[in-house]
Amino acid sequence: TEVIMEPMVIEVHGVPAISSHDRMTDQLKIHFLKRSNCGGDVLMVIYPTSTPGQAFVIFESPEVPKVLEWKHILEVDSRFYPIGVKKALLSEVDMPVETSLDLSMFPKQENTVLKCLVYYGFNVKYINADHVQLHGSFLKLKLLRSKLMQLQDHEHQSHESSSTAFHNGTTLGYGMGRNSVDP
């Protein structure tokens, strides 16, 4: 069986409070996407947090070589700010989620979809023939959503579909808060 690796999470400290939250989130994402900053593919940036000057960056890969050793200087509006980084635990930024998935959106690829659900560690419960209830990780739901969108694009290459296969996504006991990312 395949085992999905946990994405790498870093805590960033020293983030300047000089810009809008959305803009600072974008600046951090750009900074950590750059190979010249020893970055990698960024899944998500969580900013602000309950601690001033703190952010979390979640990479798609389980390892981003040298990102922790690099001396990071964040550029915002042609000004430069030293920021520190350290490894963080996924449990510090992830939360359990519950949502349903409409399998009829993937009529030719239902088995592939079910394999993806298992691959990403979701507990699956059938509601009816076309709908399943999913319990799992918020961050893995984001990864799963990207994969399902690829499958849906492949399935519907000849015409665009604006509907989504996810319905009523809710968290289990956690508030999503500001800047929630759609699953």
Please list the pLDDT of the chain residue by residue as tens digits (183 residues): 455 667 899 999 999 998 799 999 999 999 999 999 999 999 889 999 989 999 999 998 889 999 999 999 999 999 999 999 999 988 888 889 999 999 999 988 999 999 999 988 899 999 998 999 999 988 889 888 988 998 888 876 634 444 455 544 443 333 333 333 434
Same fold, 9-92 and 96-171: yes
Q: Are residues 68 and 21 in contact, defined by beta-carbon separation less than 8 angstroms?
A: no
Q: Are residues 126 and 102 in contact, defined by beta-carbon separation less than 8 angstroms?
A: no
Distance, CA of 105 to CA of 180 (rounded, Å): 25
Instruction: Report the topology of domain 9-92.
Output: Alpha-Beta Plaits (3.30.70)
What is the largest distance, in Å, between two alpha-carbon atoms of the chain? Answer: 56
Give the residue extent of every domain in the chain.
Answer: 9-92, 96-171
Task: Give the Å distances, CA to CA, from 149 to 25, 46, 63, 102.
Answer: 24, 23, 25, 13
| CATH architecture, domain defined by 96-171 | 2-Layer Sandwich (3.30)
- H-type alpha helices, 34-169: 110-119, 138-155
